[in-house]
Amino acid sequence: MVCRTLSILGSSGSIGRQALKVAESCGHQVAAITVNRSVELAEAQARRFRPRLAVAVDGAAAADLRVRLADTGVKVLSGQEGLLEAASIPDADTVVTAIVGVAGLRPTLTAIDHGKRIALANKETLVCAGELVMSRAKEAKAEIVPVDSEHSAIFQCLQGCRDRGEVKRLIITASGGPFYGKTCKELSLVTKEQALRHPNWSMGAKITIDSATLMNKGLEFIEAMRLYAMPPERIQIVVHRESIIHSMVEFEDGAILAQLGSADMCLPIQYALTWPERTTGPAKPLDLLSCPPLTFRKPDPDTFRCLRLALECAEKGGTSTAILNGANEAAVELFLNDKISFLDIPRLVERALDTVPMSDAPGLEEILDADRAARQAVYDFAR
């Protein structure tokens, strides 16, 4: 049985909490946890898992957490330094990157530079800086194992494939989200509450909105290009409403391998920890006899403009994907705060892509500058 020692960045989130559930069920140790400001949850997690380090990024939250954990011997840190210390903590062999957004980029790079295995949930990192992240991982011999269910499915289907040249294409499945089949006119009327109700998955707010706009599928398209070094023409998105097949790989001989499972993130999280081994765990088993018929359809990037914009950036590369991502993060935040409408999200992202200057082969600072400029552009347009 594989027993790992984990640092969980973003332990209060949907993925972070499920990672702790997997750790408890499978006997992995926890060396560090981090939250943004959820102090009560961080206290409960620290008491239960006894990590060496607990981080609250927010300074006031960290001060509160320090008082709460005074009797435990758990070290409490704050800010970016705290995050980077959690990402590089010597006890941990594996870092689960479950922070949402580009805020996860620097800690992921730090964990990579320390040669940790990365159980990667934080897709925005690969979207903004995929080439940089993958080349740093190669240099440091850090394994990157995807947690995102589609990319985990592809990773699982690729086990035993000795020559990537045999892969004809990757087929990413999409649930289509809560608004599948709606027209632009209908989309102009949808509310935040409707957008937050995903038909198949329970996730954090940002990715739930991304799933409703289909930006999530666009981000996953770019994530797959970076993880598997695939050109865009060899990746296909297929709407599969049932979310039973999590993605597929088609090989040169015409064989298509698929990974099936219930809509439960515990399985891909667990596989990222135990790969190349498999163990029992908490994921809900799939009962084939109670599955609905499996259906496959074309996505509609004309109605779901965010998908179209992401596919265009996938072709363009450079800082365009960082601009796309930064603008989207800002627009989703405004939507969640009731400042803009659902269709303003693609509108504002498109305007940011039209105005923020792009460069071709960016380093880290250029990527972060592009991200900041894109956010600012969205806030300015929305004013």
Q: How far is the CB of 188 from ligand NAD (least distance, A)?
A: 26
Query: Is 140 exposed, middle or buried, given 0-12, 13-18 or 19+ CB atoms closer than 10 A?
Result: middle
Site for ligand NAD in 39-68 (CB under 6 A): 57
Residue 264 contacts Mg ion per CB under 5 A: no
Residue 98 binds which one of ligand NAD, Mg ion, none, with CB within 5 to 8 A depending on kind? Answer: ligand NAD
* 218 lies in the binding site for ligand NAD (CB under 6 A): no
| 94-97/117-120 β-pairing | parallel
With helix as H, strand as E and coil as C, how does the chain read?
CCCCEEEEECCCCHHHHHHHHHHHHHCCEEEEEEECCCHHHHHHHHHHHCCCEEEECCHHHHHHHHHHCCCCCCEEEEHHHHHHHHHHCCCCCEEEECCCCHHHHHHHHHHHHCCCEEEECCHHHHHHHHHHHHHHHHHHCCCEEECCHHHHHHHHHCCCCCCHHHEEEEEEEECCCCCCCCCHHHHCCCCHHHHCCCCCCCCCHHHHHHHHHCHHHHHHHHHHHHHHCCCHHHEEEEECCCCCEEEEEEECCCCEEEEECCCCCHHHHHHHHHCCCCCCCCCCCCCHHHCCCCCCECCCCCCCHHHHHHHHHHHHCCCHHHHHHHHHHHHHHHHHCCCCCCCHHHHHHHHHHHHCCCCCCCCHHHHHHHHHHHHHHHHHHHC
Site for ligand NAD (CB under 6 A): which residue of 25, 29, 36, 279? 36
Question: Is 124 among the residues that bind ligand NAD (CB under 6 A)?
Answer: yes
Number of residues that bind Mg ion (CB under 5 A): 3
Q: Which is nearer to ligand NAD, 14 or 321 (CB)?
A: 14
> Minimum distance from CB of 62 to ligand NAD (Å)?
12
Binding status of residue 121 toward ligand NAD by CB under 6 A: yes
Q: Mask: binding to ligand NAD, 188-207, rule CB under 6 A, as x and -?
A: -------------x-xxxxx
To the nearest whole angstrom, how small is the minimum distance from the Cβ of residue 127 to ligand NAD? 9
C-alpha pair distances (Å), 263 with each of 24, 150, 151, 283, 289: 20, 11, 14, 9, 16
Residue 120: beta bridge partners?
A: 97, 146
Q: Which is nearer to ligand NAD, 206 or 308 (CB)?
A: 206
Task: Check residue 35 for interaction with ligand NAD (CB under 6 A).
Answer: yes
Could you tell which of ligand NAD, Mg ion, none binds residue 218, using a CB distance below 5 to 8 A set by kind? none
Whether residue 276 has a cis bond before it, omega within 30° of 0:
yes
Out of 43, 64, 124, 148, name the contact with Mg ion by CB under 5 A.
148
Q: Is 333 in the site for Mg ion (CB under 5 A)?
A: no
Question: Which amino acid makes up residue 300?
Answer: D
Selection from ligand NAD, Mg ion, none that 309 binds (CB < 5 to 8 A by kind) is none
251 phi, psi to nearest 5 deg: -105, 170
Q: Per CB under 5 A, which region of 58-66, 78-86, 144-152, 291-299 contacts Mg ion?
A: 144-152
Cβ 254 to ligand NAD shortest distance, Å: 30
From the list 147-155, 188-196, 290-298, 313-321, the region that binds Mg ion by CB under 5 A is 147-155
Per-residue binding letters, 331-370, with ligand NAD (x by CB under 6 A): ----------------------------------------
CB nearer ligand NAD, residue 98 or residue 370: 98
Q: Give the contact letters, 2-31, x = binds to ligand NAD (CB under 6 A), - = no.
A: --------xxxxxxx---------------
Smallest Cα–Cα separation from 226: which of 170, 280, 300, 160? 170
Which of ligand NAD, Mg ion, none has residue 10 at its interface (CB below 5 to 8 Å by kind)? Answer: ligand NAD
Q: Which does 99 bind (CB under 5 to 8 A by kind): ligand NAD, Mg ion, none?
A: ligand NAD
* String marking each residue 147-186 x if it binds ligand NAD according to CB under 6 A: -x--------------------------------------
Residues of this chain that bind ligand NAD (CB under 6 A): 10-16, 35-36, 38, 57, 98-100, 103, 121-124, 148, 201, 203-207, 265
